[in-house]
Amino acid sequence: RKEVEQDPGPFNVPEGATVAFNCTYSNSASQSFFWYRQDCRKEPKLLMSVYSSGNEDGRFTAQLNRASQYISLLIRDSKLSDSATYLCVVILPLYNQGGKLIFGQGTELSVKP
């Protein structure tokens, strides 16, 4: 089982749609969680951190369920500019080595006019 698993893509949605991405992680000791966005041939950029209480930034809402080891990202009123690959990222603590980022495989989103 992969350490971080995401919904397979691509997601093709019309403008204005609401789209949800899901991510599960296998190690219950995982700590910080993030969603990154990566445009084609560009570097990943931090979209938002994910907290147990849930957090919202404009049209984007992230949720963390530690009991189910599940992370989600909801995009409302999607725009053409939201088209990108969305990467779920988990920090796995490693005793005596600190922690390391584990990336999910990414979910490609294509928003169409």
Q: Which residues of the chain form contacts with other proteins (CB under 8 A)? A: 31-32, 34, 41-46, 49, 87, 91, 93-101, 103-106
User: Of the two residues 42 and 79, which places its CB atom closer to other proteins in the complex?
Assistant: 42
* Three-state DSSP state, 82: helix
User: Of the two residues 54 and 93, which places its CB atom closer to other proteins in the complex?
Assistant: 93
Cα–Cα distance, 89 to 102 (Å, whole number): 6
* Least spacing, CB of residue 63 vs other proteins, in Å: 18
User: Of the two residues 20 and 94, which places its CB atom closer to other proteins in the complex?
Assistant: 94
* Three-state DSSP state, 79: coil
* Least spacing, CB of residue 17 vs other proteins, in Å: 24
Cα–Cα distance, 24 to 5 (Å, whole number): 5
Is residue 89 exposed (0-12), middle (13-18) or buried (19+ Cβ within 10 Å)? buried
* Least spacing, CB of residue 77 vs other proteins, in Å: 25
